[in-house]
Amino acid sequence: MANHKSAIKRIRSNETKRLRNRYQHTTTRNAIRNLHDISVKKDAEKQLTNVISMVDKLAKKNIIHKNKAANIKSKLTKYVSSLK
């Protein structure tokens, strides 16, 4: 267990940040899953901008790596463009 006040505070703040990061990550994964369920191109294009924004925010906050974010965005864009 931590002995210093700052270490105790760091444990508390790390737990808060971990939960926030997990929430944002799972929310984004669910949005990606929902985008894959859409079969109408017009609706998918609307949703794509929101999902890309979410992925960019995760990469900006170092929740996911920037290259992983680029791969996700690339695959989603390909998927949406392949719809009819």
The CATH number linked to 43 is: 1.20.58.110
- Name the DSSP letter for residue 4: S
Give Cβ neighbours of residue 73 (< 8 Å, ≥ 6 apart): 52, 55, 56
Q: How many folded domains does the chain comprise?
A: 1
State whether residue 66 is helix, strand or coil.
helix
The pLDDT profile of the chain, 84 residues, written as one tens digit per residue, is 888 999 999 999 999 999 999 999 999 999 999 999 999 999 999 999 999 999 999 999 999 999 999 999 999 999 999 998
Q: Which domain holds residue 35?
A: 5-82
pTM of the complete model beyond 0.95: no
